[in-house]
Amino acid sequence: GDLTYFAPQVGACGIANTDADAICAVGWELFDAAGPHASNGGNPNHNPLCGKLIRVTRSAEDPRRGNITVEVMVVDRCEGCSPTDLDLSTSAFGRLALPSRGRVRASWQWL
């Protein structure tokens, strides 16, 4: 999916975060399908995806470096993301690509 980045605060999971934290928001369809969320009258803080870890992998800009990976924790729901996209904290995105890129392709898996 696509990776983008955002400036985190208190997300759908009710956890206060900063740009320095290795965190992400998953697509709203994925988040909502997993459990409680505000749009179905539930408390999104209790969504089972909150706190789950994801390993994100992408090819380095310099092919001699191989793949780059980062582990992030789900703390939010991304309204503008498709189910395979992730919105990362600025620091997590910066470990995978230059922030000036804005949007890059990557793969990810649950840990």
Rounded-to-integer distance, Cα 12 and Cα 45, Å: 6
Domain 2-110 part of CATH 2.40.40.10: yes
User: What pTM was estimated for this model as a whole?
Assistant: 0.91
3-state secondary structure of 101: helix
The three-point CA angle 29-86-71 to 5° equals: 125
pLDDT (average), residues 45-74? 92
Average pLDDT in the chain: 92
Query: What Å distances lie between residue 27 and 7, 8, 88, CA to CA?
Result: 16, 15, 11
Looking at per-residue pLDDT, the higher value among 93 and 60 belongs to: 93
Contact 85, 30 (CB under 8 A): no
Q: How confident is the model at residue 65 (pLDDT cuts 50, 70, 90)?
A: confident
